[in-house]
Chains A and B, each alone.
Chain A
Amino acid sequence: MTSRIVKTVSRTIIPFIFLFGIYIIIHGHLSPGGGFQGGVIMAMGVILIIISYGYNIFRNYSNSLSLIETLGVAFFILMGLIGIVVGKSFFSSFGAIWLLNIIIGLKVCSGIVLFYMLFIKWEHPP
């Protein structure tokens, strides 16, 4: 396991990482950034939790992460289909860029955490 210094520093810094990621996501249509970048920052926060506190506390959340990932793709395509229902073309604009940013942020966050968890899965036997 990691030392007490790593645990204390990561416990202090993780809320700020999540706050910064959420800020990047929900200000994506106003300032530089967007869903992809904010999602990666939030995923780095989760990976820091996994590094400092061990993999076993996140073992049971793998299925819900893949559910978020799949629902993110489904909702993104659904948002494109809403453009057809409104009467414009596929993925046309109806002033919902912030919603697309939130969907992409959640999806990229869960996706990158899933990458990490898939690669270190067999290093930590249950």
Chain B
Amino acid sequence: MVKKDSLFNVFVLCLLSVFGFIVISFTLRNYPTSLTSTIATYYIEHLSLTGALNTVVAILLDFRAYDTLGEILVIFVTISGITLLIRRKT
């Protein structure tokens, strides 16, 4: 029984190390920086269109407002679900 558990642990260790090697090799790859840098410079240069000085809020509420809509809907749906589940039958 103990031997079977240790064999299983060795198998999991090998699997995790293979997965970690794959993830690290993808992370350390040199991505081309042209795509991200153009988007970032677009946000910074067109900041005056939004009327905000805070770049993070300008991105969250203006350039990428769908993301904030999603956050708001997550809280809304969560509260609706909790209200539905916790309701006590009288």
Contacts and interface: CB of A to CB of B under 8 A. Distances in A.
B49 interface: yes
Interface size class of A (residues with CB under 8 A): 20 to 34
Interface string B53-90: 11011101110011011011101101100110010100
B59 to A, nearest CB: 11
B56 A91 contact: no
Contacts of B69: 76-77, 80, 91
Contacts, number: 84
B49 A93 contact: yes
B54 A95 contact: no
Contact of A111 (B54, B56, B79, B88): B79
B50, B61, B62, B78 interface centre (most CB from chain A within 10 Å)? B61
Interface stretch (A1-9, A10-18, A27-35, A46-54): A27-35
Contact of A31 (B54, B61, B79, B86): B54
11 contacts: A29-B51, A34-B60, A70-B76, A76-B72, A91-B69, A97-B51, A97-B52, A107-B72, A108-B72, A111-B75, A119-B86
A118 B79 contact: yes
Interface of B: 49-54, 56-58, 60-62, 65-66, 68-69, 71-73, 75-76, 78-79, 82-83, 86, 88
A31 B86 CA distance: 39
B54 to A, nearest CB: 6
